[in-house]
Amino acid sequence: MLSKSQAKIFFLGGTGVFSAAFLSLTIDTHRKVPAQTHAANITPQVAHGKRIWEDNNCMGCHTLFGEGAYYAPELTKVVERRGKPWLRMFLKNPEAMFPNDRKMVNYHFNDEQIENAIAFLEWCGNVDLNGFPAKPPLAAKMAASTTAPVVTTKPIPPIFDAMACTGCHSLGGKGGAAGVALGAPPLDDVYKRKNRAEIVAWVSDPPKVKPDTKMPKLPLSPEQVNEIADFLSSLGN
């Protein structure tokens, strides 16, 4: 059993050792912050995007780096999940993208503000967070159970990329990151499941075909719809 003086020395010594360890780890963490956050990439555009995030209280609904509200999706990796073209369309008019259930209001951002907001979110997605946010736990199993990707030499229509279709759907083994949780099917064999007329009807107005679908009605002209339908229908040829 320790005497009072020995207990005092033990307490003070232990406190000193653990305080020194805590201080050393804190200093080490702060030294690594610039490299992990890629501080050199914080451009004026990124800084303006951060102000847009703060001025509009985006954290009142969304989380970023795991902090914020949980009403709306986590946005740390949103650029990786959705892609810039999709985000541009969504931020331009959120209500039009999801008329049935999307609750985000239209802030009427101009093009410059949209690009700044995306630049900020892209910077956030590139921060080294030691694996956060975690990948969907069932993503690998779902990918293994899907149709084998097709190999096609057909040129992908520009409108297909502009609408960020592969933000939700996979094609040729690429894309589909955001669609795992939404259950968005791969498009490799869509020509087997739908004929051209059905593809046109679906791409033109998904909620009209299936009211509870998560796929929004995209701002496409009839010519663009036909271009996408021709491409998807031709994948089996």
User: Three-state DSSP class for 174?
Assistant: strand
* Percent of the residues in the chain that have a pLDDT greater than 70, as a whole number: 86
Q: Residue 233 and residue 192: Cα distance in Å, rounded? A: 9
The correct answer on CATH 1.10.3470 for the domain covering 139-236 is: no
pLDDT band of 116, cuts 50, 70, 90: very high
Q: Which CATH class is domain 43-126?
A: mainly alpha
Cα–Cα distance between 169 and 196 in angstroms, integer? 18
pLDDT, tens digit, for every residue of 29-76? 888 888 888 888 999 999 999 999 999 999 999 999 989 998 888 999
User: Residue ranges of the domains in the chain?
Assistant: 43-126, 139-236
- Listed in sequence order, the DSSP H helices in the chain are 4-37, 44-55, 78-82, 84-92, 94-97, 111-126, 139-145, 158-162, 179-182, 190-193, 196-204, 206-209, 222-233
pLDDT in tens, 147-198: 555 555 667 888 887 777 877 888 877 777 666 666 788 888 888 889 999 9
The torsion defined by the Cα of 178, 184, 187 and 191, in degrees rounded to 10, comes to -160
Q: How far, in Å, CA of 101 to CA of 48, rounded?
A: 30
Confidence of residue 137 (pLDDT cuts 50, 70, 90): low
Answer yes or no: same fold for 43-126 and 139-236: yes
Angle between helices 196-204 and 222-233 (to 10 degrees): 140
Judge if the upstream peptide bond of residue 155 is cis by omega within 30 degrees of 0: no
Return the closest-CA partner of residue 166 out of 155, 179, 157: 179
| pTM > 0.85: yes or no | no
